[in-house]
Amino acid sequence: MPVPILMPALSPTMEEGKLAAWLVAEGDEVRAGAVIAEIETDKATMEVEAVDEGRMGRILIAAGTEAVRVNTPIALLLEEGEEPSALDTALETALETAPVAGAQVSETQPKPADVSPEPRPATTLQSARPANGARIFASPLARRIAEQKGVDLAGLTGSGPRGRIVKADVEAAAAPTAAHPETAPTPMPASPSSETVAALYQDRRYEEVPLDPMRRTVAARLTEAKQTVPHFYLRRSVTLGPLLDLRRRMNGALEGRGIKLSVNDFIIRAAALALQEVPEANAVWAGDRILRFAASDVAVAVAVDGGLFTPVLRDAETLGLGDVSQKMKALADRARARRLAPAEYQGGSFAISNLGMYGIESFDAVINPPQAAILAVGAGAEGPVAVDGTLAVATRMAVTLSCDHRVIDGALGATLLAAIVAHLEEPLGMLV
C-alpha cells in the first residue's frame, strides 16, 4: 500500500508549516535519507528527508501552500512494484488520518468531500525488529541520531510505516525522564474572535493579513511571557565617549581585514563578560528548578520581514570583538534568509535587543522564556552632563534590563547591570 509522507514537526514550537518547495516530482525515484522538500517553519526554512524508499506517486499539497498542520499527509510514496492505481484508495485513507488547516489539496488530484476537523492520535505499530531478529527497520536519519545519542534501536518500537523506527522514536527514547517533561506547543492566547473584531469595523475599509507561522509563534510565546513571567525592570545610562573613541581607532586598524565593529558587538562582549562575573544571573527558569550555566550563551534579536529571530552566540565570553562581529554578521545573514538551524536560535540564558539604530531612546523588552533576562538598548545621544560640578556635553545611551524575578532578584539584577555598564564605560578591559 502507498506510504503517506506527513508534514513533520521540525521545531519544538511548530504546529503547522508552509510547504516552500518540492525537490522531487511525481514519478521520481526516492531514496531513504534523500532531501525531498523544503518546509518553512515558524523560525526557518528547513530540508525534509525521505524516511522510506520508493517512487513519488502523488503530491497532495502543492508548493507554496501555507498553514499545513503537523502530521497532515503531504504526499504518497509508491513502494517497489506498486501501481499508480493504488493511489486513489490510499488517498482517501491518508487524508482521514490528519487535518489540513488552511491548506488545499493539489487541484490536479481528487479532493475528499469531508476532512476530519481534528487529527486522530498516532497509533504505535509493531516492533521494528522482526521476530527472527534478522533486521531492524529504521530510517537513515533515525540511525544517525541513535548513534549520536547512544540509543539502542533494538529496544525501540517504531511508529513509522510498517513499524519502521523514525526520528521521533529515537528522540523520544533519548529524551529526559519525567523530571523534565516536554511541554506541549503553546496555543494561541484567548482573545475576541475574528468575527467579533471585524464587526466593529464593518463600515471601514481594511485588508486582512493572515498570520504566518512566525507571527503566530511570536504572538503566543510573548503573550505567555507577559502573563506568566514576573518581569521587573532596571534602568541605567551609559557614557559612550571612551567606547566610541576605541571603536573608531580599532575600525581604522581593522579596515584592511574587512572587519567593522559595531556598538552592538561591544554590548554583546560586555554582557558575556558580565555573566561570567555574576554567574548567579547566568541562569534560566526550568519550572521546578533554576539552571545555571558555565558559558555565556547570548541571544541577539535580529529583525526580519514579518517578525524576528534571536540567534544565539554560544560561548561568547571566549570570543574577541572581531570574532563576535564576524559570527554575529553570519548569524544575522542566515536569520534574514531564514536558514538558521534550530541549534542556532534555541537556548541561550541572556538576550539583547537593540533598537538604537531606529532612533528609539529607551524601551522595555519582553523576556523570551526560559531565559531570565533581556537587555533593551536605546540610541546614543549627546546631552548635557555634570562632571565634578562642571557642565559638559557627553554621548549617553539608555539601557533597560528586564529580569525574571523567579531567577534574578533586584540586587542581583542591579549587580549584573552594573557589570555590563562598567565594561561599556571602560572598554579597554574587554580587549584582554
The values of phi and psi at residue 179, to 5°, are -65, -25
Work out the pLDDT band at 238, boundaries 50, 70, 90: very high
Q: DSSP 3-state assignment of 354?
A: strand
Residue spans of beta strands (DSSP E) within 180-324: 231-239, 283-285, 290-292, 298-300, 302-304, 307-309, 312-313
Q: Is the pLDDT of residue 149 over 90?
A: no
pLDDT of residue 281: 97
Average pLDDT, the chain: 82
- Nine-digit cell at 254? 581593522
What is the secondary structure of 59-121 as a DSSP string? E-B-TT---EETT-EEEEEEPTT--TTHHHHHHHHHHTSS--SS--B-TTS---S---SSPPP
Q: Is the pLDDT of residue 118 over 70?
A: no
Q: 322: exposed, middle or buried (C-beta count within 10 Å: 0-12, 13-18, 19+)?
A: middle
User: What is the per-residue pLDDT across 350-368, written as a single tens digit (0 to 9) for each?
Assistant: 999 999 999 999 999 999 9
Q: Is the pLDDT of residue 72 over 70?
A: yes
State the Cα–Cα distance between residues 275 and 296, nearest whole angstrom: 6
Q: Tell me which of 67-76, 118-127, 297-306, 330-339 is least confident.
A: 118-127
| Average pLDDT score over residue span 214-225 | 84
Instruction: Give the number of other Cβ atoms within 10 Å of residue 392's Cβ.
Output: 9
Q: Is the pLDDT of residue 411 over 90?
A: yes
Pairing of strands 29-30, 302-304: unpaired
Residue 405 annotated among the catalytic residues of the structure: yes
| CB distance 402 to 383 below 8 Å | no
Contacts of 98 (CB under 8 A, 6+ apart): 6, 69, 71, 72, 73, 119, 120
180, 231, 405, 423: the active-site residue: 405
Pairing of strands 350-354, 298-300: parallel
Count of helix runs (H) and strand runs (E) in the chain: 10, 18
State the Cα–Cα distance between residues 242 and 154, nearest whole angstrom: 62
User: What is the per-residue pLDDT across 171-195, written as a single tens digit (0 to 9) for each?
Assistant: 788 765 433 444 445 555 556 788 8
